[in-house]
Structure 1
C-alpha cells in the first residue's frame, strides 16, 4: 500500500477516534463512533492495525 494512502487512513482513524472520545453532543458522538468503528474495520481488513497502533504511539 502506498505510504501516503496509509498515512491518510491513520489520520482519519485517529481523527474520528478522538472526536468520538471527546464530544458532548450525543448524536455527533454516535456518528463519530460509527466512523471510528468503520475505520478500524478498514485497518483490520488491510492487516495494518498494528502499524496504526505504532503510528499513534509515535505521534
Structure 2
C-alpha cells in the first residue's frame, strides 16, 4: 500500500520534527522575554504587561 513512498514519508516526518522544534524554541524565547519584562522594574514594561495575569 505505501510501497515506494518511504522517502516522501521520511521527508515529511523530518519537516514535521523541524517545525515542532523551531516552534518550541520560539515559544521559549517569547516566554523568556515576557518573563523578563514582567519581572522588570521598568514602568513602561510594567504598564504594557499590566493586564496579563502572573
- TM bin, normalised by shorter chain, reads 0.3 to 0.5
The structure that is helix-richer by fraction is: 1
Q: TM-score, normalised by structure 2?
A: 0.47
